[in-house]
Copies of this chain bind each other. A is one copy, B any other.
Amino acid sequence: MDVLSAMAVFVRVVDLKSFSLAASELGISSSSVSKQISHLEQHVGARLLQRTTRRLSVTEVGAAYHEKCQAILADVDEAENLVSQLQGKPRGLLRINCNMTFGQLLLSKAIPEFMAAYPDVQLEVALDDSDVELLKEGFDLALRIAHPKLPDSSLIARQIASIPLFLCATPSYLAQHGHPQTPEDLRQHNCLVFMLASNTNLWTLTNAEGSQTVQVSGDLKANNSLLVLQAALAHRGVANLASFVIERYVEEGRLELLLPEFQAEQLSLYAIYPDRKYSPPKVSLFIEFFQGWLENNLQQKLHCQSRS
Residues of chain A at the chain B interface (Cβ within 8 Å): 1-5, 43-46, 60-61, 64-65, 68-69, 71-72, 75-76, 78-80, 82-84, 86-87, 89, 91-92
Contact = CB atoms under 8 A, between A and B. Distances in A.
Contact of A89 (B43, B45, B68, B80): B45
B2 A46 contact: no
Nearest to A46: B87
Given A4-B3, A4-B4, A45-B92, A72 B83 contact: no
A69 B82 CA distance: 12
Q: Say how many copies of this protein the assembly contains.
A: 2
Contacts of A91: 45
17 contacts: A1-B2, A2-B5, A3-B4, A3-B76, A44-B79, A44-B83, A45-B91, A45-B92, A46-B83, A46-B84, A46-B86, A61-B83, A64-B83, A64-B86, A68-B79, A72-B75, A75-B75
A89 B47 CA distance: 12
Contacts of A68: 75, 78-79, 82
Contacts of A65: 79, 82-83
Contacts of A69: 79
A155 B2 CA distance: 31
Nearest to A91: B45
A80 B44 CA distance: 6
A290 to B, nearest CB: 22
Given A46-B87, A68-B82, A75-B75, 10 more contacts: A1-B2, A3-B5, A43-B80, A44-B79, A45-B83, A45-B87, A46-B84, A64-B86, A65-B83, A69-B79
Contacts of A72: 72, 75-76, 79
A35 to B, nearest CB: 15
Contacts of A86: 46, 60-61, 64
A84 B45 CA distance: 7
Contacts of A71: 75
Nearest to A80: B44
Contacts of A5: 2-3
Nearest to A61: B86
A83 B65 CA distance: 7
Contacts of A64: 82-83, 86
A84 to B, nearest CB: 7
A276 to B, nearest CB: 14
A65 B76 CA distance: 10
A2 B83 CA distance: 18
Contacts of A89: 45
